[in-house]
Structure 1
Amino acid sequence: MMYCSFTDSASFLEKRLGRSPEVFLILRHGLSEWAERLSEIITVDWNEIPGLPALHSIGRGLTFTSGNMKGVEVLCLDGRLHYYEGYSMNEVVSPIHLASALGIKVFIFTCGVGLVSDRGKVGDIMIVRDYINLMGVDPTRGVEARKGQDRFTVVSNAFDRGLSNTAIGLSRELEIPVFEGVYAAVSGPTFETPAEVNCLRIMGADVVGMSLVPETVTAVREGGRVLAICLVANMAGSDFGGDEEVNRTVEGLTYKVFSLLDGIISRIAEGKV
C-alpha cells in the first residue's frame, strides 16, 4: 500500500512563501487571473517543488500563487491534473496532500460542467451539495491510512454547509444565477452521449464533469472543509462546440465568479463562515 507523504514538498513551499496559507483554491482554466487580485503575491512553479509528479500534458504548466486578501492567506493553483490525461489517481490529488501538509483546512474548488437536469441553465453557477462518483476509481484505494486515520472515509457531508450557504447567499446578493445540486463525476475525456445523460438524470445528477470528486474525497479525508463552485458551460449530451464552447461560456462568467470569490474570502476574514 502507498503512503502519501508530502512533508518535504510542504517544507520547501513554506520556506519559499514565508507564510502559512489558510485557504487552498483551485482555479479552473479561464479563472487563473483571479489570483492577481491578491496582495503580496509570490509565485512558485509546479516543477520547482520536490515530490510533485512530473507534468506530461503538452504545452501546459501549473503555477502556485500565494497572496493575501483582507488578512486571509490564500494559496491558488491555476489548473489541475486530470485523470483522463493519464495521471494516476494519487498524482491527481497530490496538490491536496500538499495543501493539507501545509496545514490548510479550507478548500475551494472551481470547475466547468455540463448541464444534465432542468434545474438550471447554461451560464448559471451551481454550488455542489453532493456527488455521484462514476469515475470507476477512488483516490484512497491502496493508500495506507496514517496513524489515527480511519481506513474508510465518510463523505455523507462532503461539502461544508457553512461555506455553501455563504456562496449561495453571496451569489443572490450579487444577482448571479445560482442553484445547488448534485455533481456526477466521469473519467472522460469523451463527452457524454444523450443516453448517458438520460441515465445521469434518472440517477439524480444535475451536472456532469471530469474532476472535482478525487480532490473532494482527499480534502475531506484530511479533515478539510470543501466548497465546490461549478460553472455550467454547456448542455451535456448535446451537439455543441466542445472545449472551445466551454471556454467561451466560462469567459462570460469570469467577472461574476471573481466577485463571488472576493465575497467568500471576505466572509472568511470576518469569521462569518
Structure 2
Amino acid sequence: MYNKIKEATEYITSKIDIKPLIGLILGSGLGYIADEIEDPIIIDYKNIPHFPQSTVTGHEGKMVIGMLEGKPVVTLKGRFHAYEGHQLSKLIFPIYVFKELGVEGLILTNAAGGVNRTLNPGDIVANADFINFAMKNPLIGPNLDELGPRFPAMAKPIDRKWLKRIEEKAEEKRIKISEGTYCWMMGPSYETPAEIKMLEKFEGDLVGMFTMPEIIAANHCGIKAVAFSAVTNMAAGILHQPLNHKEVMEVAERIKYKFAKVVKIAIKTF
C-alpha cells in the first residue's frame, strides 16, 4: 500500500512545480470551486497510478493543482464512496497521497441530509463531530507505520482553532455557519424514516454517505481537517416528499456561491 502511495505521489509531482499546502475534496455539485484555481494543472484520476475512480453524477474525476486565494492547493473534483464498490482502503488512498505531497490542511465539503429539524435546505453546517453508523473503519488491516499510529485518537476529529477562525471571518461577511454532528451511513439507498428517528435519538444533525473515512485518515496521518455540509434536503420522514439525487444537485447549485466563499475563507485562515 505504501509503495502504491509513493508511486501515485511521484507521478503527480512529475507534473507540477509547486508543493500543495491545502487539500480540498469537493462533494456532489461542488466541483465548481476548483474552476477558480489559478494556473491549474489538471490530472485525470485514471492517469494516476493506483488511484480510485469516481462513478457518481456530479463528480468529474479530476485532480486540480494550482493557486487559490494565494495558497497552493490540490483539489479533488469528485470523491469516492463505499457504495461504489471501493474497498475502504481505496477511499482514503488520496488522503495519504495528499500527505506525501506535503499537504498540511484538509478541507472537506459534502452534500448532506438534514436530521436536525432546525436546519433547512441551503444551510451550511460545519461537521464538528461524527458518528460512524456504517460500522466500518478504513484503517482495518495492516497499519501504515510510515504514515501514522496503529491506534489514532479521534477525540478531536476536526481542528477547532482553524474552524473558529473560519466562523469568525464568515460572520464578518454575514455568512451563517452552524455546527453539527455528521452521521456516516453506507448508502447508496437513502435512509428510512425509522433510521432517521434513530439518528435523531443519537443527537445526529446531518446524514451522508462519505466524509468520515477521510476524516479518520486525516487524523491518522496528522493532517489538520475541517469539513462542511451543504444541507441539500431534509432526511426521510421529516418532510413528506421522497428524496432524489436531482434535488441534491439543484440545492447545491443554488448555494454554490455562498459555499465557495466559505471554502475560500477556510483557505485564507489556514
**Structure 1 and Structure 2 fold alike (TM over 0.5):** yes
What displacement does 1:5 show? 4.7
Q: Measured at CA, do residues 153 and 33 of structure 1 come closer, stay the same or move farther in structure 2, by a change above 3 Å?
A: same
CA distance in 2, matches of 1:211, 1:56: 13
What displacement does 1:171 show? 2.8
Q: Measured at CA, do residues 143 and 4 of structure 1 come closer, stay the same or move farther in structure 2, by a change above 3 Å?
A: farther
Partner residue of 1:131? 130
1:1-273 equivalent positions in 2, closer than 5 A:
5-53=4-52, 55=53, 57=55, 61-147=60-146, 149-238=148-237, 239-268=241-270
What displacement does 1:81 show? 0.8
CA distance in 2, matches of 1:6, 1:174: 39
Deviations 1:111-146 (A, max 9, x none): 011111134222100001100001121010013241
8 Å Cα contact 2:233-2:243 kept in structure 1: no
What's the % identity of the aligned pairs?
29
CA distance in 2, matches of 1:97, 1:155: 17
Q: Measured at CA, do residues 107 and 128 of structure 1 come closer, stay the same or move farther in structure 2, by a change above 3 Å?
A: same
> Number of aligned pairs?
266
The one-letter code of the counterpart of 1:243 is H
What displacement does 1:30 show? 1.6
8 Å Cα contact 2:166-2:269 kept in structure 1: no
8 Å Cα contact 1:46-1:61 kept in structure 2: no
Q: Secondary structure at the match of 1:137?
A: coil
The one-letter code of the counterpart of 1:183 is Y
CA distance in 2, matches of 1:5, 1:158: 26
Q: Secondary structure at the match of 1:144?
A: coil
The one-letter code of the counterpart of 1:162 is K
8 Å Cα contact 1:3-1:144 kept in structure 2: no
8 Å Cα contact 1:5-1:97 kept in structure 2: no
Deviations 1:67-116 (A, max 9, x none): 11243100110010110111110111111111111121100000011111
CA distance in 2, matches of 1:127, 1:56: 24
Select between 132-141 and 238-247 the one with higher mean Cα deviation.
238-247
> TM-score of the superposition, structure 1-length normalised?
0.91
What displacement does 1:147 show? 5.0
What displacement does 1:264 show? 2.1
The one-letter code of the counterpart of 1:92 is L
Q: Measured at CA, do residues 19 and 56 of structure 1 come closer, stay the same or move farther in structure 2, by a change above 3 Å?
A: closer
Select between 168-177 and 185-194 the one with higher mean Cα deviation.
168-177
Unaligned runs of 5+ in 2: none
